[in-house]
A and B are shown apart, each in its own frame.
Chain A
Amino acid sequence: MRIGLVCPYAFDVPGGVQFHVRDLAEFFLAQGHEVGVLAPVDELTAELPAYVTSCGRAVPVRYNGSVARLTFGPVTSSRVSRWLEEGEFDVLHLHEPVTPSASLMALWASSEPVVATFHTSNLRSRAMHAANPLLRSSTEKIRARIAVSEEARRTVVRHLGGDAYIIPNGVDTRRFAPDGALTRWSGTPERPTLAFLGRIDEPRKGLAVMVAAMPAILDAVPGARLVVAGPGEVEEISSALDPRVRAATEFLGSVSEDDKVALLRSADLYVAPHTGGESFGIVLVEAMASGAPVLSSDLEAFTAVLGPSPAGRTFPVGDGAALAAAALDLLGSPQERARLRDLGLKRARSFDWGVVAERVMAVYETVIEGADHSPVEPALRAGLLGRLRWPSRGEV
């Protein structure tokens, strides 16, 4: 199958959507499909994988309440059309199709069957409502809508109407599978390791909640250590801490992928005290795949990832005391942690790219089947007026 994927954000800048597109492309390539990716770049000299075509330089611009690196304008437009013509794709898979960037332009120019994946859960309604009449005849070209989470689906329903099928983000679980090796973070019963991942200066990642819970944890388990991996001003955060908590906390700053995996594998408890803004808890899947018992806030995105028979413990969002109580309970019970670990490893498998990409492929096949059956000459014609329309690309 010839698959065209379009990513709206600069491909050489790390980000959830970019990783999603990259992993999906590489999975289908490995299966023997022909895959092309169209995306903007941040640095024109950036090294790109062979399957990626650049549609121009991304420009930082304010959209949807934050600064995003997007691409637009006539140069991009002609590159998008050229890529579509040369690609001759059987199916076109656009990511974030209503973001004003490459995906929207590809949607505009496309004549092949279109699948769209919606990632965000925080679309601004004002922008969407203003643009709706403008976008409507384009969004009508979409034959299948995918949302990566229940929250993303609700956003689609609210702003575009209709529905979307939920296919979660994928994770390469083999990369995280526990290997039993001891690392510098491996804990002992007296000195258990609690792991925290995420930007330390971004409030919604919840470091403040974690830190608030630490005194109670240290009272009961004096040897407990908190390992914090994530970028941010360490000095600033650390100096504001209670001295006892500071002594028990190790700040790693931003870490490499390998170190992240090693930390998760060695953690006695992975704590996710996020307070909001998470559309999909990919980091929870990674922790589960690494065999780290999960303790997370009860955000909807997180409880969805943990599943119906939860593969992790939750506490009310922002509640440091509840976090401390749950953490102590788990630290005191190796059996319960072992149970969560096994459940987590099993649960993580349903987010493996093997399973997830299979579902995406099912969507492609369904859409192509529908497109093949569409009558070449539509049964109805609106009299003379029907002949006065503009020819769209590919049907001159």
Chain B
Amino acid sequence: MDVLQVATIIALVLLALSWYLSYSASRLDRLHAKVEGAVSALDAQLVRRAEATLELATSGGVDPATALLLADAASEALDRHTHHPLSHDPLDGQTFAGREGTETDLTETLRAVLSDETVQGLRLEVGSAGAESLSRVEASALRVQLARRFHNDAVREVRRVRAKKVVRLFRLAGHAALPQRVDFDDDLPPAVVD
């Protein structure tokens, strides 16, 4: 084998390696972008859910004790959102800024408050502010469920790729923080499921 052949082989190997690295890097890029999109979709739905809950509380369609419980849980969730806006802090955003607790609280409050009787009572008054905010709560709660699952799927994909030796060795992920799953209770109140 002469020098030229060896050089050609080395060049080809390097070319293949660099193609593979760039392919992996762009794939990782795409996956990170997917996670970021998913987390902001989740954030948007959570804000909508909290706002709709607050509307329901102030709609006049529920008794004052119920209203107070709803308002308390919803404003807590909104408060956490305002103090930790995802867009301002991508690193914090990817760990969801510890908002799981307040969102679980809101879910539990909704489940406790939206009993069969309350839901039926609200739905009977078609077109009232109470009925409309209830349907907004239902719609956003469903979308929270969807968004959280899609986000966690995206996180799993990123983490699998980032666990690869090549990715770690060549630091293909750059300085991006490792995305975390978001886990909190988002079950729909049984009364609104059917």
A, B from the same assembly: yes
Contact residue among A137, A363, A373 (Cβ-Cβ distance under 8 Å from B40): A373
CA distance A366 to B141 in the complex (A): 12
Flag whether B168 is at the interface (Cβ < 8 A). no
Known pairs A388-B19, A388-B22, A389-B26; A380 contacts B32 (CB<8 A): yes
Interface-centre pick from A373, A379, A383 (highest chain B CB count, 10 A) = A373
CA distance A387 to B21 in the complex (A): 11
Interface 9-mer from A139-147, A281-289, A320-328: A139-147
**In the complex the two chains form, is B150's CB within 8 Å of A370's CB?**
yes
Cβ of B60 to closest chain A Cβ, rounded Å: 27
CA distance A359 to B139 in the complex (A): 9
Contact residue among A365, A366, A386 (Cβ-Cβ distance under 8 Å from B25): A386
Flag whether B52 is at the interface (Cβ < 8 A). no
Known pairs A144-B150, A161-B156, A370-B38; A382 contacts B29 (CB<8 A): yes
Chain B residue at minimal CB-CB distance from A142: B153
Flag whether B41 is at the interface (Cβ < 8 A). yes
**In the complex the two chains form, is A374's CB within 8 Å of B37's CB?**
yes
**In the complex the two chains form, is A382's CB within 8 Å of B25's CB?**
yes
Q: Which of B13-56 touch A at CB < 8 Å? A: 18-19, 21-23, 25-34, 36-38, 40-41, 44-45
**In the complex the two chains form, is A369's CB within 8 Å of B25's CB?**
no
CA distance A389 to B20 in the complex (A): 9
CA distance A366 to B146 in the complex (A): 7
Contact residue among A366, A374, A390 (Cβ-Cβ distance under 8 Å from B34): A374
Besides A366-B45, A386-B22, 8 other CB < 8 A contacts?
A143-B150, A162-B156, A162-B157, A163-B153, A366-B147, A374-B37, A380-B174, A382-B21
Interface residues of B (CB under 8 A from A): 18-19, 21-23, 25-34, 36-38, 40-41, 44-45, 90, 139, 142-143, 145-147, 149-150, 152-154, 156-157, 160, 170-176, 194
Interface residues of A (CB under 8 A from B): 137, 140-141, 143-145, 161-163, 165, 350, 359, 362-363, 365-367, 369-375, 378-383, 385-390
